[in-house]
Amino acid sequence: MFNLRRFFYEAVALSEPDATSDSENLLLASNDAEKTRLPSPPRPQTTLGKLRQLPFVAKVLFLTSVFAFTIFFGQPIANFAALAYNVVLQCGKAHHQTPEVLEGGVLEPVAVRPAAPWHDGVPLVGQGATVTEPVLPAATPWGATRIEDRTGWKATCSSNQADSTTGCDKAIDARGVETDWKSATNPGAVHWIVIDLGREVIIHSLAVAPSQSSEDEGAVRKHRVEVREATGEWQLVALGAWRDSGGAAIFEPRLARFVNLSVVDTHGDAGFVAISDINVWTLPAIPGAVDRGGRWSHTLDFPLVPVTAWLNPKTGRLVTVASYAYNHFQANNKERKTVLAEWDPASGNITEQTIDKTHHDVFCPGTSMDEVGQVIFTGGSTADVFSIYNPDSGWGMPANNKVNKSRGYQGQTYLPDGRTFMIGGTWPDDSDVDKDGEIYDPKTGDWTLLKGKIPADAIRMDKSQCEPWSDAGGCVKDQWRQHHPWLFAWKDGSVFHAGPSKKMNWFFLTKGSERVEEGGLRQDASNKSNIFADGDAVCGAAVMYDAVSGSILTAGGAPNYHYWLNPESRDRHRLNSTNNVFNITLGTPGHVVEPTRLASMKHSRIFANTAILPNGEIFVVGGQTQGEPFYDETWLAIPEIYTPKTNEWRDAANHSIPRAYHSWALLLPDASVLVGGGGLNKDHEKTNHYDAQIYQPDYTTPDGKTTVERPTITNNHASIEEYQLGPSLKIPILTDVEVDDASLIRYSATTHSLNNDLRRIHLALVPQGNAADRNYTAEIPGDAGVTLPGYWMLFVLRKGVPSHAKTIRIYK
């Protein structure tokens, strides 16, 4: 159903590319030695260029004629606007690269940094004559139109095979997959093809079909996509790896005439590239800019649908997992393996592997990160086991890898005393409905069931929202009622359960005295005559944004996991998500908390994700107004940012790829946010998103175009400094310029909108000596319930602009 609000935005004129240097942008995909140097595309005199030379009166007459023709013969404006998509580009360039003439006047690319192989996958296009509408291996670009008329297109490339029937023009001809471009065989070389579209258009995405006659040899694997206007410099828009079935690169829209695909590696190690068809999608307009909205950088293409993600704190690499397959899941999976992909921001390399030694499919797991950076995975598709990812040695299976209750969708958190706690869950084993709490002790390697002491019934949501109705299906009272709990480790051996049930709890987990105490209702009762209460907030957001005061922000969610079982069957139980926002301040463990209602979000959301920014603001991204797994229809392309100091929300720059069910967001050490995933269901391929996008907040790019100078922490960068937590812990901080603020943000793992171990600590800087010495100390709260032991990102700020983080480890 057409949604005017989502599909229509005011178009704005594009700004000239900014002159951001490579050294200023550490989000670049490669270092200077590894950049692809592209040949300069031809710059013919265009018709538009000739028209610019006409006298002013002639120009007016020409534009009037064009306008009249459009009104009477063109596509109706309403239909044209319906093609617009709620994405926005802040006109900043993530990467600039100028062609370089090498020795002998030859223009050719050099090595691009590597990315990783993919599995065999589903076909990108079917066997047949011509391609009228390609079938993508991922979601089709929302709101975009494939350019079908290729009149005026021209292609140049690095090389062709001797056979004249395989020239690079075959990749863009009208015969689709009937013809191929095959480059010359040159193992180790970077192959490239540049497409001149003949005119400037707003490019949104492209798809590449492999040769239908090469038995997968020569199919693009490691790739890099760049675009360029008629004049100017190349802009990086996507990089990564595709499967041998082909791939799609979807990115923020750019005005461009030239498209370059650089191929550094192919499937089968053929030493040549074999492409049958390249398609380009376009938008009619670029939506309006957002004040203080930041900007989106390039897209990362992964070899799987990333559902769970975390940063390895020792290497800085992003690790993502899907399930036993790269594009699908299976309940109670007997294959007991997990597909993993890893991205190294420093080198750009994307690698993939299948983990089968743990006998664990970690789709829909419980996750927590411990004091030494290990990620503990419990349950999921393989519901009765757990496994541990070690930041040094990778994935391992404990000697006793069993949990007491088979479960998925549980909540989990690391505890200040070194143990791990989990509770709740339902799927995939709904027959055992009460998933009481369990605690893992690394000293014994065992999980202890807290049956009757920490009962799952304490976190059960409102059963009245789950009464049967006449339509087939319905919901079952004992299912979908104990999942994805928000858990926050706190002082004195306590964990606070903040939701998503409207009834909250305290869990006391000191060994031998485990118990549950009421924590109150998530409601604002400050006005007794007009109490504002939140309902159950399934898959809403919850984050401890100020650990010193124990302040938790909760936002959005819905009364139920599903809005509808099918679009034609709805009833009173199918309720929209909310935009409700509450602040919960924990204080003394065991007391009934008194939440405060905060300013509502601008947009109602379920399945959204949050990231705490170094300046204390909270970034909320993705989700949809009507929650339904594997259904992107009501997804939200407008992120928003909350400022606690002013209790205000503002919109951020829009993004072009749906991020709803199974999406995630993580703060990166350079203070940007990586947002990715969504989907993982081969029966709903259009909701499978094999990528992630980098968001740069406005503190690094105030106008969405240019970047600002940032402070630098000059402590020893060669090692991770470690500090033992205590009542008088003070850490030294050296900087290159005077700074005025600092913060710690904990490393954590996230899935299914849960990120329970994430928290931020604001640090007060104390200058040592003269201010010009740029030497400071910061006192760390000594309570492990506040400063949860583990790895943290340390940021300093100068007038609100953060540094790149220095990773430190705080242990008990």
State the SS3 of 754-774: ECCCCEEEEECEEECCCHHHC
Q: Which residues contact 470 (CB under 8 A, 6 or more apart)?
A: none
Q: Where do runs of H (alpha helix) occur along 502-563?
A: none
Q: How far apart are CA 711 and CA 669, in angstroms?
A: 14
- Roughly how many angstroms between the first and final C-alpha of the chain, as a whole number? 55
Of the candidates 468, 30, 360, the one whose C-alpha atom is nearest the C-alpha of residue 223 is 30
Indicate the residue type of 706.
T
Buried/exposed code over 291-302 (b: 16+ C-beta within 10 A; e: otherwise): eebbbbbbbbbb
Q: Is 730 within 8 Å of 778 (Cβ atoms)?
A: yes
Return all residues near 240 (Cβ < 8 A) that are at least 6 apart. 115, 222, 223, 249, 299, 300, 301, 302, 303, 350, 691
Q: How far apart are CA 332 and CA 330, in angstroms?
A: 6
The span from the CA of 276 to the CA of 285, in Å, is 29
**How many whole angstroms separate alpha carbon 586 and alpha carbon 498?**
10
Mapping DSSP to helix (H, G, I), strand (E, B) and coil, where does residue 201 land? strand
- For residues 767 and 747, what is the distance between their CA atoms, to the nearest angstrom? 27
| 389 is annotated as an active-site residue | no
- Which of these is catalytic: 440, 561, 661, 747? 661
CB 155 within 8 A of CB 184: no
Buried b (16+ CB within 10 A) or exposed e, 421-438: bbbbbbbbbeeebebbbb
Distance, CA of 294 to CA of 723 (rounded, Å): 34
d(CA 755, CA 488): 10
Q: Give the whole-angstrom CA distance, residue 8 versus residue 472.
A: 37
Nearest to 631 by CA among 610, 665, 658: 658
Q: How far is 244 from 227, CA to CA, in rounded Å?
A: 23
Distance CA 486, CA 509 (A): 16
CA distance 760 to 744: 6
How many angstroms separate the CA atoms of 265 and 183, rounded?
12
d(CA 386, CA 360): 7
Instruction: Catalogue the long-range contacts made by 438-445 (C-beta closer than 8 Å, 24 or more residues apart).
Output: 438/403, 438/404, 438/405, 439/415, 439/509, 440/376, 440/386, 442/370, 442/418, 443/418, 445/398, 445/399, 445/400
The first and second tokens of residue 232, run together, are 């100017």
Q: What is the DSSP string of 390-454?
A: ETTTEEE--SS-B-SS--SS-EEEE-TTS-EEEE---TT--SS-----EEEETTTTEEEE-TTTS
Residue count (the chain): 812
- Of the CA atoms within 13 Å of residue 561, those in its CB half-sphere come to 21
Q: Which residue reads 């402070």 in tokens? A: 711
Contact 444, 453 (CB under 8 A): no
Among positive and negative, which fits the CA dihedral 456, 459, 463, 468?
negative
Residues labelled as active-site residues: 661
